[in-house]
Amino acid sequence: MYVPAPSRYGAMTYRRVGRSGLRLPALSLGLWHNFGGDAVHENARAMCRTAFDLGITHFDLANNYGPPPGSAEEAFGRILRTDFGGLRDELVISSKAGYRMWDGPYGEWGSRKYLIASCDQSLKRTGLEYFDIFYSHRFDPDTPLEETMGALDAIVRAGKALYVGISSYTSEQTARAAAILRDLGTPCLIHQPRYSILGRWTERDGLLDRLETEGMGCISFSPLAQGMLSAKYLNGIPAGSRAASGKLAASILNDEAIRRLRGLNEVAAARGQSLAQMAVAYVLRDPRMTSALVGASRPEQIRDSVGALANTAFSAGELAQIEELAFESEDW
């Protein structure tokens, strides 16, 4: 039987989500890869236990995580039953709907029809009575935003979620969504954008300023750029990595990219951090960032990433060096 580490809450920093009453761990665990039907269940289970032992109380899902779609929610539901039975109130569990989940015109995007049905399916797969946070996974240009936000509000009023969030909405779309939800009486808790040293659209878009104005939190996904920001690719593509499996385009790793990653690795070493740790720290350097949402393929990676929290401050010189070496791609 799993007995959680008594030290777990001393080991983690918790940050307030915007101006809400909720706090999230500075590091959260996402279940996009390595928790599906193609994964080794005992490894997935070990990662959840390791995370919780380190004070990671927040686990992030979506309807389509797998493969096959839905299987990560099913696997996490099993782990909840075998290991976290009496611990529901110590966990913040999120899920999302927005991407293609089932055939036909009602299986994706932002209609009320799709969002409410998908939330019900996700609850069934996980065996949960409610999600702590339920997200609109992407902005739908063809559905009135009032309808999408109205569906999130209805999900909360039906007791199927405690809070709602949005993912990958621009600043302008975020302001509109937040205003609609505020009028409905269900504040928008949090935004989940992609953000890392190698993915900076949120800076150009002024997203954190907008979220501060709205009183919303921010949890950044892929802070390690899917593993690019780690030492693993500095000397080729190791077996078992995301690039080796084809889930991350190996073609990104050209000579110039590797030169830059090696440079970033040296900046991290001078800070006494692994490259992965510096990548997590970079995302968290702004106190308005609530949490860095990492993925992992092994429990040791979670331990390594938590080590980032020991130093999330950057000197002007370090930031300038990082700026010089950073490069962007739409592939992560």
Ligand X SMILES: NC(=O)c1ccc[n+]([C@@H]2O[C@H](COP(=O)([O-])OP(=O)(O)OC[C@H]3O[C@@H](n4cnc5c(N)ncnc54)[C@H](OP(=O)(O)O)[C@@H]3O)[C@@H](O)[C@H]2O)c1
**Rule CB under 6 A: which residues touch ligand X?**
30-33, 60, 137, 167-168, 192, 221-227, 230, 232, 241-242, 276, 293-297, 301, 304-305
> Are 65 and 95 a contacting pair, CB within 8 Å?
no
- When the beta carbons of 18 and 165 are compared against ligand X, the nearer one is 165
Helix axes 71-83, 41-53, angle to 10 degrees: 60
Reference 162, options 89, 101, 220; nearest CA is 89
Largest distance between two CA atoms of the chain:
53
Give least dist CB 33 to ligand X, A. Answer: 5
- When the beta carbons of 52 and 221 are compared against ligand X, the nearer one is 221
Give least dist CB 60 to ligand X, A. Answer: 4
- When the beta carbons of 159 and 234 are compared against ligand X, the nearer one is 234
- When the beta carbons of 171 and 183 are compared against ligand X, the nearer one is 171
SS3 content of the chain, % helix, strand, coil (to 5): 45, 15, 40
- When the beta carbons of 267 and 317 are compared against ligand X, the nearer one is 267
> Are 9 and 267 a contacting pair, CB within 8 Å?
no
Residue 10's region, left for phi above 0, alpha for psi from -120 to 50, else beta, is alpha
CA 285 to chain CA centroid, Å, is: 17
Give least dist CB 190 to ligand X, A. Answer: 11
CA gap 278, 55 in Å, rounded: 20
The distance in angstroms from the start CA to the end CA of the chain is 37
Give, in order, the Cα–Cα distances in Å from 138 to each of 87, 170, 193, 200, 296. Answer: 30, 10, 10, 18, 23
Give least dist CB 66 to ligand X, A. Answer: 12
- The 10 Å Cβ neighbour count of residue 315 is 9
Torsion angles phi and psi, residue 326, rounded to 5: -65, 150
Give least dist CB 296 to ligand X, A. Answer: 5
> Are 261 and 275 a contacting pair, CB within 8 Å?
yes
Give least dist CB 185 to ligand X, A. Answer: 25
Give least dist CB 328 to ligand X, A. Answer: 14
- When the beta carbons of 158 and 249 are compared against ligand X, the nearer one is 249
- When the beta carbons of 86 and 141 are compared against ligand X, the nearer one is 141
- When the beta carbons of 269 and 320 are compared against ligand X, the nearer one is 269
Give least dist CB 318 to ligand X, A. Answer: 19
CA gap 257, 193 in Å, rounded: 23
